[in-house]
Structure 1
């Protein structure tokens, strides 16, 4: 909450003396709190004192604003609000002033959903500003705070505001010279939010808000509330700002932060990092002003001292943020579904150039500065031809798109065995269309990416790879309609790899590898990277996605891997001596229920993959399964595959194939998952685990695991946490029957149920406690008697009070 108050205090000295620049001293003796701070804290007070279901929040807001506000009669209230505040019968007065938005930040901190943020905002706003524009301005602010606090990226917040509230089609530079003082929501809230959207940290956001002029204190208060929720507040600014508040306001702030802990911001070389779950107020004492100030200062210092960040994790997140910000440069002419086609290759181009520079520098140091020696191919993992380096493109001022394409094509041609197609696969990226991407916009993109080096010395392969996986996931978030085609939630991948447990020296194959996430997790599982060289294999039908997989593996430090592009079911590309190549570990999340996949060709498959029959052309699920079974090493092959749960019980051709699968005794485990884990489909999924070399105790048996209740619910999508993954893995590892969770059944048991694998039909349920009808009737009559007595008592009280007559 202190973010809104800091914005108000910083902007106070510029309200009537606008400063259209970001260059000013942030907090000085000339600063002071205004009605923005007083009313923001009054809403905090109302939220703390209303009922838990918020049904009386409106009345409490009136009370808090009047009681607290009257202590500060000269702090800058508008004329109509001033009269309302001193009225004995305060009524809303149809205002659309920005006073509605400047006081609602606390609603965004308290809310547990967007819907609740809207509800709370409406309740504290409609008591005065009941005009639709007043309601909208306050709601936009509260929702932005909620989204920022909930971990949404700045671009996602901007897009949400643009879609639901105000068009975000302007920049601060575009309005700075013409923007004038305006007290309406519609001419204040959009500008304040853009000040946040164009910021790089909390202080920068406040400076942005002040720099456009207008009603500086309110603009900065709105901006500051959102900026704190997103970045946190630097400790030194927080400590200074606390000294501007008197005892009454300070107590409200600290009591609110004890309930809803503040965020702290730390500035690193890469930018701003917010420390989550770090409360700077949870142990602050309340009492006299001096005691509270000292306690708050000590708590802030302690939080700063004790904040321990995982350096690589923080670096990955910051690198991801920088990469994702490139999307902000492209937004407008480039649809968000296309971001990956531009940001992915430009990142890879930069990484190749920076790694090449590192290798050149190492060769120069080794040779005593011999440039000819440093250019020898044996000193580099790949070749970057003359004119195709990042720096060559950076120096171009005209036809920048042509220069980018020339450089990327040149690198591909110079490295046909390793990098062929990694750039040209993104055929929907039109770098040379100036109507879509002007030279100026591309220069902005190049300069943005030039701000950081992404070589091996700057980022380990794990850090680079993780940040890129964050980016892939974010692309999936933005494009859920086709995200499931290339992104499998990491928790599911970890579970599958953990169960297969690939060992050093074993081969791993994914016939529908998407962006390579399963292959990367398999490499992680082995630990010894060198043992995976030459043992990682993948095939992907989509051209651009196969290129992303190769880049992803490369960025994770993988070497000597093979990812091929093509339709696996129609044309498998890993062939050895005319037969399908086999592998120790086969893992995949193939597209669910793929139609028109080539059933006729599969029916007479030359590789014998139709060993149990050919499914119909309406669903390829069992075709994928049989391809993977045929790809398993005969002695040591294991397989983990994600499929829709229909494969467990469908009849017809699928039923016959399932029967033969079960009788083959290759099926080791079935895990059913909760719906909503995967993008782009509401279909419930399951994981099938197969093994050509079952341990003796598992032979003739199948472990059925119901993991449909082992998940963590979130607003937009269900997830599996590490704890959830560990629980399911332990059920598999223990291979035992657990009431409500798992059941080990024999093949004979399954045969008796006509080969269905519907997990719930096997798992033993916990006994339901039953109560005899006489006890139920007795409890009901007793409760009815209590109701009658209570009604009589209530009626007598109403009569006694004169509210009703006998």
Structure 2
């Protein structure tokens, strides 16, 4: 909210005296409040005073824009709006002026959802600007603020604005020489939003907006609202800005911020981190001086109370910086391909920055001995001459070739640890100048150069978590094949909780994707050193296996074995010619995989066809049997995600399921809600098997119906941490729960034809039976009410002259 006001203040002195540069004094005594701020605060007051369902928001908007606005007749109103403010009978006047967007920021800060942001914007805007362009400009602004406030990245916000509101096929540098004063929404809002999209901080966004000229205060007000929501406002700028507001306006702002807490901007590790005010901290005061004093004190406390770095916030902000590299690639590079470029370039930068740290430490330790500092044993990886990040950064021609040469050189110099981690991304065409010009690649290199990503800059956990966010975002962008490399992390956590791996135990994922399950297992063991060297994974996809290795490294797990190959046709973890066994086996293999090699599996040399061979159209039971064969005979546990069809399909699958049940390895079945996995509408389940069942669990299976245990989201259903805790508790308690859980015996399942459909066994609440006489009575009462309503309606239509007898 204050961000829009600051934009208005800073831009006020440039509206009729444009400046085409970012180099100017920011907040000075020459700045002043204009109609942009006054009307923005009037609408903030309307939101505060409207009904909870906002049904009277339009009425309140008129009321407060007039009652507050009339106190400032010389603040810069346009002619039509001035007449509206002072009219005794105000009506919308079909305007598409940018005033609709400049004063709507409160909608974005108050809204509880994207749809509510749109609703509030319309209700606040249509009382004046009922032209479609006016409504669109205000809505785009409110939506951008809401998305920025709720964690969307700049790229996500830009994508949404381009898809639903405006094409953004321009840059600020491109329009700056010719852009002139314009009061329309359609020629102000896109430019103001672009000033935010090209920014690196709150202040930088405001400077961007003013530097293009035009209607400076309005451009900066629109941009400032979004920038505040995304970055927060630096405490010193916030404190200075408050002094420009009179008591009436300051009181409204503080009242609004007491209900919708503001955000401070703090810089941590070269990254701008938003710090939201504690909701319990309220500001009050009887006069302007006291209000300002208390508001300034609150701003200082906001920053001081967050001096301890919040790792999750830092991870997300680092992720945003990494993900915004995609913005540079957009256009020539399809969004499905982003991961093939951003992933290796990040890893290249990380290796170089870590190398520099190790060099500096060795140099200091040796008293300046360069030869000692350059020795291979002083470094995690060898970087040959000409292959360092800074070497590539200096290149201005054939940049793509320089990137490829550097990555190839690093791979060759580290054959045991980095073989294939860069070259596996064979769909990345770095040297194709028709796709990636030298200029675009230089921009990418400079964007990544703006932050350091060494061990001292970001811990392995923060770095790894940021990369996890990045992988998830790639999955969001590429849902058609996302399930192949990304499993929702809460489901992974539930599986690891079931397995409960302990330090010293071995963990294996035969379809490891990007390594998320192995990482969660290491975390479950609290990164204990006994986990090192005991983590194994195999992944068929070449680039995904490289991502897994990078992901594990970025999380600090270097001593792991991830191999690339087809697990069902060619298992790579063997022990004296037999399938190697592990304490914990977990996976989310591809659902219903066809043409997987059933002919070879039918006479499998490793004896993995324990219970039979599935058809070549569905490998689900082949994966399951491979994992069972990989379980340690004495202590092995297995958790696997499979489609729910494995629980009830007949034929070959039915016979194999019978053998599974009779083996008494199956300890629990958990069905999951539909829509929680990417790229598939198939409902899934988790099978938990145990070679060392407790005495009380032998001969029994815990069946859990989790189909209604989820958190609905707009894009797809999710399992929250609370949801998975509920599911885990149901298993851990191992007792019947109506509507949720049933403990069945092997005899129960045998009597039901070895069908494991969970809903068949779950006990349901008894439904209340309504006597037929009551049903008939209710029916005839309803019918009579309908007839009475029809008679009344017909009478009214006749009286109104709409129909005749």
State the secondary structure of the residue aligned to 1:480: coil
**What are the equivalent positions in structure 2 for 1:183-332 lying under 5 Å apart?**
183-276=183-276, 278-279=278-279, 283-285=282-284, 287-307=286-306, 309-332=308-331
Residue of structure 2 equivalent to 1:508: 507
Q: Cα RMSD over matched residues?
A: 2.7
Residue of structure 1 equivalent to 2:381: 382
Looking at structure 1, the residues matched to 549 and 265 of structure 2 have their Cα atoms a distance apart, in angstroms, of 36
State how many pairs are aligned: 789
Give how far 1:338 is off: 1.4
Larger mean Cα displacement after TM superposition, 766-775 or 361-370:
766-775
Residue of structure 2 equivalent to 1:709: 708
Looking at structure 2, the residues matched to 488 and 355 of structure 1 have their Cα atoms a distance apart, in angstroms, of 29
Looking at structure 2, the residues matched to 769 and 261 of structure 1 have their Cα atoms a distance apart, in angstroms, of 47
Give how far 1:635 is off: 1.3
Residue of structure 1 equivalent to 2:754: 755
Cα distance, 1:53–1:455 mapped onto 2, change above 3 Å: closer
Looking at structure 1, the residues matched to 527 and 56 of structure 2 have their Cα atoms a distance apart, in angstroms, of 61
Structure 2 length normalisation: TM-score?
Answer: 0.93
Residue of structure 2 equivalent to 1:341: 340
Cα distance, 1:786–1:401 mapped onto 2, change above 3 Å: closer
**What are the equivalent positions in structure 2 for 1:584-663 lying under 5 Å apart?**
584-663=583-662
**What are the equivalent positions in structure 2 for 1:433-472 lying under 5 Å apart?**
433-472=432-471
**What are the equivalent positions in structure 2 for 1:71-150 lying under 5 Å apart?**
71-150=71-150
Give how far 1:768 is off: 4.8
Looking at structure 1, the residues matched to 34 and 350 of structure 2 have their Cα atoms a distance apart, in angstroms, of 49
Give how far 1:36 is off: 1.0
Residue of structure 2 equivalent to 1:152: 152
Residue of structure 2 equivalent to 1:35: 35
Give how far 1:777 is off: 10
Looking at structure 2, the residues matched to 34 and 781 of structure 1 have their Cα atoms a distance apart, in angstroms, of 65
Give how far 1:423 is off: 0.5
State the secondary structure of the residue aligned to 2:226: helix
Looking at structure 2, the residues matched to 557 and 110 of structure 1 have their Cα atoms a distance apart, in angstroms, of 40
Looking at structure 2, the residues matched to 475 and 769 of structure 1 have their Cα atoms a distance apart, in angstroms, of 48
**What are the equivalent positions in structure 2 for 1:360-759 lying under 5 Å apart?**
360-759=359-758
Give how far 1:675 is off: 1.8
Deviation per residue, 1:143-180 (Å, 9 max, x gap)? 11111112100111011111211111212122222211
Residue of structure 2 equivalent to 1:796: none
The answer for unaligned runs of 5 or more in structure 1 is: 788-806
Give how far 1:588 is off: 0.3
Cα distance, 1:78–1:747 mapped onto 2, change above 3 Å: same
State the secondary structure of the residue aligned to 2:90: coil
State the secondary structure of the residue aligned to 1:484: helix
Residue of structure 1 equivalent to 2:353: 354
Contact map agreement 2:271 2:318 (CA 8 A) in 1? no
Cα distance, 1:529–1:16 mapped onto 2, change above 3 Å: same
Cα distance, 1:306–1:378 mapped onto 2, change above 3 Å: closer
Larger mean Cα displacement after TM superposition, 554-563 or 665-674:
554-563
Residue of structure 2 equivalent to 1:792: none
Looking at structure 2, the residues matched to 344 and 589 of structure 1 have their Cα atoms a distance apart, in angstroms, of 22
Give how far 1:767 is off: 4.3
Cα distance, 1:776–1:2 mapped onto 2, change above 3 Å: farther
Give how far 1:534 is off: 2.5
Give how far 1:287 is off: 4.4
Looking at structure 2, the residues matched to 522 and 191 of structure 1 have their Cα atoms a distance apart, in angstroms, of 47
State the secondary structure of the residue aligned to 2:416: coil
Structure 1 length normalisation: TM-score?
Answer: 0.93
Give how far 1:385 is off: 1.9
Looking at structure 1, the residues matched to 770 and 299 of structure 2 have their Cα atoms a distance apart, in angstroms, of 56
Deviation per residue, 1:349-389 (Å, 9 max, x gap)? 12222223333344444544443344443333332222222
Larger mean Cα displacement after TM superposition, 630-639 or 391-400:
391-400
Deviation per residue, 1:414-456 (Å, 9 max, x gap)? 2222211110000111111122212222222222222333222
Looking at structure 1, the residues matched to 470 and 9 of structure 2 have their Cα atoms a distance apart, in angstroms, of 37
Deviation per residue, 1:721-770 (Å, 9 max, x gap)? 33332222222222222233222111111122222222222222344566
Cα distance, 1:782–1:624 mapped onto 2, change above 3 Å: same
Residue of structure 2 equivalent to 1:66: 66
Looking at structure 1, the residues matched to 454 and 268 of structure 2 have their Cα atoms a distance apart, in angstroms, of 19
Give how far 1:137 is off: 0.9
State the secondary structure of the residue aligned to 1:697: coil
Residue of structure 2 equivalent to 1:791: none
Give how far 1:275 is off: 1.6
Looking at structure 2, the residues matched to 556 and 307 of structure 1 have their Cα atoms a distance apart, in angstroms, of 25
Larger mean Cα displacement after TM superposition, 108-117 or 395-404:
108-117
Contact map agreement 1:254 1:286 (CA 8 A) in 2? no
Contact map agreement 1:93 1:130 (CA 8 A) in 2? yes
Contact map agreement 2:262 2:276 (CA 8 A) in 1? no
Residue of structure 1 equivalent to 2:799: none
State the secondary structure of the residue aligned to 1:657: helix
Give how far 1:249 is off: 2.2
Cα distance, 1:592–1:34 mapped onto 2, change above 3 Å: same
Give how far 1:390 is off: 1.9
Cα distance, 1:99–1:648 mapped onto 2, change above 3 Å: same
Looking at structure 2, the residues matched to 437 and 347 of structure 1 have their Cα atoms a distance apart, in angstroms, of 17
Larger mean Cα displacement after TM superposition, 681-690 or 730-739:
730-739
Contact map agreement 1:98 1:218 (CA 8 A) in 2? yes
Residue of structure 2 equivalent to 1:9: 9
Looking at structure 1, the residues matched to 302 and 191 of structure 2 have their Cα atoms a distance apart, in angstroms, of 33
Looking at structure 2, the residues matched to 646 and 28 of structure 1 have their Cα atoms a distance apart, in angstroms, of 69
Larger mean Cα displacement after TM superposition, 300-309 or 24-33:
300-309
Give how far 1:346 is off: 1.1
Looking at structure 1, the residues matched to 112 and 619 of structure 2 have their Cα atoms a distance apart, in angstroms, of 41
Contact map agreement 1:344 1:548 (CA 8 A) in 2? yes
Give how far 1:63 is off: 2.5
Give how far 1:773 is off: 8.1
Contact map agreement 1:230 1:274 (CA 8 A) in 2? yes
